[in-house]
Amino acid sequence: MADRAQPIGAGPGIGAAAIVAALILGSLAAVALRAQPGTGLGPADWQAVRFTLMQAALSAAISVALAVPVARALARRRFAGRSALITLLGAPFILPVIVAVLGLLTVFGRAGWVSQALGAAGLEPLRIYGLHGVVLAHVFFNLPLATRLILQGWQEIPAERFRLAAHLGADAGAIWRLLEAPMLARSVPAALAVVFAICLTSFAVALTLGGGPRATTVELAIYQAFRFDFDLGRAALLACIQIALTVLAAGLALRAAPGGGFGAGLDRPLRRWDAQSGLLRAQDGAAITLAALFLLLPLAAIAVNGLAGVTSLPASVFRAAGTSIVIAAASTATLLVLAVPMAASIAMARRTGWIELAGLLGLAVSPLVIGTGLFIVVYPFADPFALALPVTALVNAISALPFALRILVPRARAVLGDFGRLGLSLNMGGLPFVRLVLLPRMRPQIGFAAGLGAALSMGDLGVIALFADPEVATLPLQIYRLMGAYRMEAAAGAALLLLALSMLAFWIFDRGGRWHAEV
């Protein structure tokens, strides 16, 4: 039996998915073929594997352990600025890593605010480089994510359950045992697995705060094999290890996906009658305040330090900013050309198909591994360093693709479900339906996805570090070079510029999508 008729064909989406799959699987194949197992893994490589696993496990455990009280406080308190704070928890997703690192250095660095306070009290300053710093930065990025994931678990408990619990006279402790602990038993493992997977592929944090033989991740080792030794075989071997680690993490994340639930409610407004004691109020207030300070202080540090440096930026920073804008624009365009047709095709399919899997591949393979593969493929034919910018734009687009699809697919499904039959009965199949119905009705989601893609690309410090020669730099790479040259004031000014550009890129697209949109 044929599937229900659809107003548009799946062809363009299939083509886009084929390109993505060919690119990712092709670079994987290149890495696998080029790897030189003969030399085997040296002690340094094993150390990198151990460090990668340890920092990811620590980062996940600390992020989630801190996220639980914060999410609990946000779930049971209502206060002015609550929704702004929850929105702010989403901001690290598009915050450039290098900017956050500079902010963290200003607050927690050897000469930072906390160390100065400790020094005034006669204590030793903090040491941020190495394992501490890597974990600190990962917690900074993932505490908000874990809080949002766990808060979602809280919000999925129907308001009726809390009403019933209050009716039965349950206090905060009883509600914990009755409702909250069972919910956490499902959502905490999922959050742990997600944060672990993210930290496993972290490159920019390890590049800036790690390093040295005792604080090198596998991704960083790939980079070093490339840049310092130009040992492609060893880089490829390390990339294979990274792939194995990612597959392991993906397996964990899939197994830990939360299932089951509390049943449906009638969406009554949530009211909480428990946890009114002064002690619990103080506890929740402290959790929220500390979390907000932890997130806001480094951002404030960027603003304070950056304003001093932004007036005297070297010309190289503006050149790099121009390069970053061009890359972000190209990457966003590539992203949309791939994601919109794929979203339409996925929305039309009745079950999970290979197009959806191709869209998820970008999550399973780290950008640095794709970059290594592309380098190996290109190297015999052309100068890879000359292709640094197009390759960066392309890899950025592919790594943003899974997120874009998550935003686009549900909307495409709704548009086709609501208007597919009407479009067919009016004979507006194909291009007229895309032009008059699909694109106009998906515009807010396309704008949001484009905004995320542009901001991610603008702030990315990954593949470009592999490919760039000294003449070429994106803004994040230029900031890294300024830091390496100990020009911290210029770096802070450039970081403020990068932060502004990333937020602006996101705002322009997101706003453009919603401008005069009739929803």
Partner 1 sequence: MLRFEKAVILNGDFTVRANLALERGARVAVIGPSGAGKTTLLEAIAGFRPLEAGRLVWDGRDITADPPGARPVAMLFQDGNLFPHLTLAQNAGLGLRPDLRLSAEQKERVKAALARVGLEGLEDRRPGALSGGQQSRAALARVLLQDRPLLLLDEPFAALGPALKAEMLDLVADLAAETGATLLMISHDPDDARRIADQAVLVAEGVAHPPRPTIDLLDNPPPVLRAYLGEG
CB of 416 vs partner 1, minimal distance in Å:
12
Q: Which is nearer to partner 1, 266 or 431 (CB)?
A: 431
How is the chain split among helix, strand and coil, in percent rounded to 5?
A: 75, 0, 25
CB of 420 vs partner 1, minimal distance in Å:
9
Amino acid at 329: A
CB of 271 vs partner 1, minimal distance in Å:
33
Q: Which is nearer to partner 1, 267 or 518 (CB)?
A: 518
Residue from 313, 428, 455, 465 touching partner 1 (CB under 8 A): that is 428
How many residues sit in the footprint of partner 1 (CB under 8 A)?
26
Residue from 126, 159, 424, 504 touching partner 1 (CB under 8 A): that is 424
Q: What is the largest CA-CA distance in the chain?
A: 79
CB of 8 vs partner 1, minimal distance in Å:
13
Dihedral sign of CA atoms 412, 414, 417, 422 in order: negative
**Positions of E strands within 63-186:** none
> Is residue 2 within the footprint of partner 1 (CB under 8 A)?
yes
What does the DSSP assignment read for 115-165? HHHHHHTT-PPP--TTHHHHHHHHHHHHHHHHHHHHHHHHHTS-HHHHHHH
Amino acid at 165: A
CB of 434 vs partner 1, minimal distance in Å:
11
Q: Which is nearer to partner 1, 92 or 432 (CB)?
A: 432
> Is residue 429 within the footprint of partner 1 (CB under 8 A)?
yes
> Is residue 350 within the footprint of partner 1 (CB under 8 A)?
no
Residue numbers 490-519 binding partner 1 by CB under 8 A: 517-519
> Is residue 432 within the footprint of partner 1 (CB under 8 A)?
yes
Burial class (CB in 10 A: 0-12, 13-18, 19+), 481: middle
Q: Which is nearer to partner 1, 168 or 439 (CB)?
A: 439
- SS3 sequence of 241-285: HHHHHHHHHHHHHHHCCCCCCCCCCCCCCCCCCCCCCHHHHHHHH
> Is residue 414 within the footprint of partner 1 (CB under 8 A)?
no
CB of 433 vs partner 1, minimal distance in Å:
8
> Is residue 425 within the footprint of partner 1 (CB under 8 A)?
yes
> Is residue 437 within the footprint of partner 1 (CB under 8 A)?
yes
Residue from 91, 422, 484, 507 touching partner 1 (CB under 8 A): that is 422
Q: Interacting stretch for partner 1, rule CB under 8 A, among 99-107, 330-338, 424-432, 461-469? A: 424-432
> Is residue 418 within the footprint of partner 1 (CB under 8 A)?
yes
CB of 439 vs partner 1, minimal distance in Å:
10
Q: Which is nearer to partner 1, 80 or 431 (CB)?
A: 431
What token pair was written down for 302? 């960027």
In whole angstroms, what is the distance from residue 440 CA to residue 517 CA?
8
379-382 — which CB contacts under 8 Å span 24+ positions? Answer: 379/232
What token pair was written down for 59? 């980062």
In whole angstroms, what is the distance from residue 201 CA to residue 194 CA?
12
CB of 512 vs partner 1, minimal distance in Å:
16
Q: Which is nearer to partner 1, 153 or 423 (CB)?
A: 423
Q: Which is nearer to partner 1, 5 or 279 (CB)?
A: 5
CB of 432 vs partner 1, minimal distance in Å:
4
Dihedral sign of CA atoms 120, 121, 125, 128 in order: negative
Q: Interacting stretch for partner 1, rule CB under 8 A, among 17-25, 264-272, 414-422, 469-477? A: 414-422
CB of 202 vs partner 1, minimal distance in Å:
42
Q: Which is nearer to partner 1, 8 or 287 (CB)?
A: 8
> Is residue 435 within the footprint of partner 1 (CB under 8 A)?
yes
In whole angstroms, what is the distance from residue 314 CA to residue 309 CA?
10
Binding mask 4-43 for partner 1 (x = CB under 8 A): xx--------------------------------------
Asked if residues 451 and 508 have their Cβ atoms less than 8 Å apart, the reply is yes
Asked if residues 416 and 9 have their Cβ atoms less than 8 Å apart, the reply is no
Asked if residues 450 and 335 have their Cβ atoms less than 8 Å apart, the reply is yes
> Is residue 436 within the footprint of partner 1 (CB under 8 A)?
yes
Q: Which is nearer to partner 1, 471 or 518 (CB)?
A: 518
Q: Interacting stretch for partner 1, rule CB under 8 A, among 152-160, 293-301, 337-345, 420-428? A: 420-428
In whole angstroms, what is the distance from residue 484 CA to residue 314 CA?
15
Nearest to 240 by CA among 112, 366, 66, 93: 366
Q: How many CB atoms lie within 10 A of CB 486?
A: 8
Nearest to 469 by CA among 205, 218, 230, 221: 230
Cβ partners under 8 Å of residue 504, min gap 6: none
- Contact footprint for partner 1 (CB under 8 A): 1-2, 4-5, 418-419, 421-429, 431-433, 435-437, 440-441, 517-519
